[in-house]
Amino acid sequence: MKPILLTGASGALGRMLARELAAAGMTLRLTDIAAFPDAVPEGCSFIRADLNDGVTIARLAEGCAAILHFGGISVEQPFEDILGPNLRGLFHIYEAARREKARVVFASSNHTIGFHEQGQSLDLDCQFRPDGFYGLSKAYGELMGRLYWDKHGVENVNLRIGTCLPEPRDARALSTWLSYPDLARLVRACVAAERTGHAVVWGASANPASWWAKDHRDRIGWAPRDSAEVYRARLEGVLHPDEVGRRHQGGAFCVADYSRPTPPPRDAFSLE
């Protein structure tokens, strides 16, 4: 089997995926701008690289069947900080995938749609309503995948990851939580699928309170097994202290640098 390139390998999700995917028998090339903090799993190699360095990214991707793109800035930051790794870096990933005819599995985010209201049910074709520059960069990433599929035939799966932690921490996560095992199974399914085309999958476990509905999971062959519901008694009263955070699906990301005097309208194109 051809090797798999995993960017962002030194982050929390990257380290977990490196461990789980290697245990499943995948040959991984790991990369990150930061050193890998653990012992490199058997069957893996690690090379430090900057996503801004297109030449190095192209070399790392040589001969790969898929690129698991979990690299870049993963929290809200000023635009200039996000610009290089999340926008320019993504271009380098897709150019490498185009050259190698590799599939891209892109770690998108629920923050692409963060200003939709909590409780509102969303399908995969809902409007983007990013809640910050980070979410905006992930919407750009999904559109990059759309372009490269339409124009170059590069298959890609966009994972709109919710709250991916070992355990949910607040009431919002009762709707958005994605367990580590469910994410690992999802990524394995994305790599193994015979064909994906351009696909979107909501990255959430089987949470009864989920706000996210229709997606392409049947095309991928994945169904989540875990659920945040077992944590409800402990977490349902743990709410964000700010009304904007309580009202919108993006939670705290919506509150960061918020300066609007009134809440945004439910309809993105409404005057109020």
pLDDT at 270: 78
Residues of 123-140 as b/e, b for ≥16 C-beta within 10 angstroms? ebebebbbbbbbbbbbbb
Q: Catalytic: 134?
A: yes
Q: What is the pLDDT of residue 39?
A: 96
> How many domains is the chain built from?
1
Sign for the CA dihedral angle at 261, 117, 168, 163 comes to: negative
Question: What is the pairing mode between strands 163-164 and 66-69?
Answer: unpaired
What band does 165 get if pLDDT is binned at 50, 70 and 90? very high
DSSP single-letter state for residue 24: T
DSSP assignment of 54-120, as one string?
Answer: HHHHHHHTTT-SEEEE--S--S---HHHHIIIIIIHHHHHHHHHHHHT-EEEEEEEGGGSTTSBTT-
Instruction: State the pLDDT confidence band at 163, using cuts at 50, 70 and 90.
Output: very high
Look at residue 113 and tell me if it is in a domain. Answer: yes
- Catalytic hit among 94, 134, 140, 231: 134
What is the per-residue pLDDT for 219?
A: 96
What pLDDT score does 8 carry? 98
Structure tokens at 138: 């992930």
Determine the structural domain holding residue 100 and report its residue range. 4-255
Banded pLDDT at 174 (limits 50, 70, 90): very high
pLDDT value at position 159? 98
The per-residue pLDDT for 267 is 81
In a domain, 268, yes or no: no
Domain-located, residue 21: yes
The whole model's pTM is what?
Answer: 0.96
Average pLDDT over residues 92-102: 98
The answer to whether residue 266 is domain-embedded is no
Residue 270 in any domain: the answer is no
Rounded CA gap, 152 and 130, in Å?
Answer: 27
Q: Is residue 31 over pLDDT 80?
A: yes
Stretch among 36-40, 235-239, 245-249, 268-272 having the lowest mean pLDDT? 268-272
Which domain CATH number covers 120?
3.40.50.720
Whether the pLDDT of residue 178 is over 80: the answer is: yes
Whether residue 272 is predicted with pLDDT greater than 80 in this model: the reply is: no
Does 267 reside within a domain?
no
User: 264 lies in a domain?
Assistant: no
Q: What is the pLDDT of residue 264?
A: 87
Question: How high is the pLDDT of residue 143?
Answer: 98
Instruction: Give the list of residues 6+ apart from residue 133 with CB closer than 8 angstroms, or none.
Output: 76, 77, 78, 79, 82
Task: Decide if 122 is inside a domain.
Answer: yes
